[in-house]
Structure 1
Amino acid sequence: MYLANWWHEQSYIELIGVVTGLLCVYLAAKNNIWNWPFAIISVTLYIFIFFEARLYADMGLQFYFLGANIYGWYFWSHKKEPDIKVPVVAITTKQITWTIFAIALITPALGYTLTKLSPILHYKPAAYPYLDSFCTAVSLIAQLFMARKIYQNWLMWVFVDIIYVGVYFVKDLKPTAFMYAIYAIIALLGYLDWQKAYRKQEILY
């Protein structure tokens, strides 16, 4: 009875976003190209969900995800031989350096912008602007690394997904919090699978 009442209280848009979001991450962890169309559906829905929750950095992040998912779909499918997958690669020292620099730059700049922009645009104040901005910065880079098949992207997702679970639970987005808890588990499995694929490539080539 309690579960049935809880289910009816949830937003159908959020529930559809959760289902398609889980499908896209599961398929990505399995190195399956069909993760991208499910991702496009999910991030489009979450533009509206995060706006209502006043998580404006997350809302903006969904627009980036939308473009990145379209790019990822193109990149994964753009190969000469239909049966050859785009190879998994490892992160470089240069990419690690630029990642740290980008996160350190984006987090305070975006957090400050959110605190100042909401009153000007007559929006409700942003919720957790600096934490939201930090998670957004990490997610931006992780998504780019996923599209480029850098297998350490999954470690970044594990880290940021754990933070998101707490944020969404506090914001009463419980289905979304549950989704991100599953994301963290899938991301860990994705890391192990992609690492195995990378090592197999190293042996073959």
Structure 2
Amino acid sequence: MPTIFHDFLQQLAQTSWLEWIATLSGLACVYLAAKQNIWNWPISIISVSLYLYIFYQSRIYGDSILQIYFLLTAIYGWYYWRKRDQSDEKPISSLSIRQQAIYFAIILALGAAIGFCLDRWTDSDVPYIDGLCTSMSFIAQFLMTRKYVQSWAIWVAVDVLYIPLYLHKDLAMTAVLYFIFAVIAWNGYRDWRKTFLNTTWQK
């Protein structure tokens, strides 16, 4: 245990300034998203741009590609949130049981497909866990742009899965970030669910 703790502290000490900026901007954008603050989207552009480079250098290729997707959804999310804030639509929605089952199946199928591609055509040493986390993040991010409360539940799960992956890749500061992400995501889920239920009951 002392050796593991020592290695963790050593990783933190060797954290690059790029990872620090990516970490802090990532933390800010997730916090703002949980608070339904539209500024989470432009700040996320900074974080995902830096992580695109960091993950590629660490051979986490699924996550690297995911940052490009995050960049595009940040632009879309910024537009969509502004549009909904100016309308009479309720700000938060919820998936039906059938929709949840469909998205769950999509996550598994997409994760397996990405994992297979990474295993066959890259030098990744974590192809399938990378593929699953990438798939979950794809769906969670899309659902967040549409303001579905379940997006946060998926983020909790994927953030927890990412922690050991980043420790394996010597990205200790990012692992700490994703632990904090998991806590924020859980609070975001509770807040969004409460808001959705209150809105529904008032109708």
Q: TM-score surpassing 0.5?
A: yes
SS of match in other structure, 1:78: helix
Equivalent residue for 1:170, pick from 158, 168, 171? 168
C-alpha distance 12-86 of structure 1, shift in aligned 2 (>3 A): farther
Once the two structures are superposed, the pairs formed by residues 8-157 of structure 1 within 5 Å of their partners are: 9-79=14-84, 81=86, 87-118=91-122, 125-157=123-155
Runs of 5+ unmatched residues, structure 1? 119-124
- Larger mean CA deviation between 147-156 and 84-93 belongs to 84-93
Q: 1:115 Cα shift?
A: 2.0
C-alpha distance 86-59 of structure 1, shift in aligned 2 (>3 A): farther
TM-score, normalised on structure 1? 0.89
Aligned residues: CA RMSD: 2.1
Q: Determine if contact 2:52/2:68 at 8 Å carries over to the other structure.
A: yes
The list of structure 1 runs, each at least 4 consecutive aligned residues, that deviate by more than 3 angstroms after superposition, is: 4-8, 79-82
Q: Determine if contact 1:33/1:73 at 8 Å carries over to the other structure.
A: yes
Correspondence for 1:122: none
TM-score, normalised on structure 2? 0.90
Tell me, in whole angstroms, the C-alpha distance in 2 between the residues paired with 1:152 and 1:75. Answer: 18
Q: In the comparison of the two structures, how many residue pairs are matched?
A: 197
Runs of 5+ unmatched residues, structure 2? 1-5
Q: 1:136 Cα shift?
A: 0.6
Tell me, in whole angstroms, the C-alpha distance in 1 between the residues paired with 2:21 and 2:125. Answer: 24
The one-character-per-residue Cα deviations of 1:137-192 (angstroms, maximum 9, x if unpaired) are 11100101111110111111111100101110111100100000000000000011
C-alpha distance 59-5 of structure 1, shift in aligned 2 (>3 A): closer
C-alpha distance 191-79 of structure 1, shift in aligned 2 (>3 A): closer
Q: 1:107 Cα shift?
A: 1.7
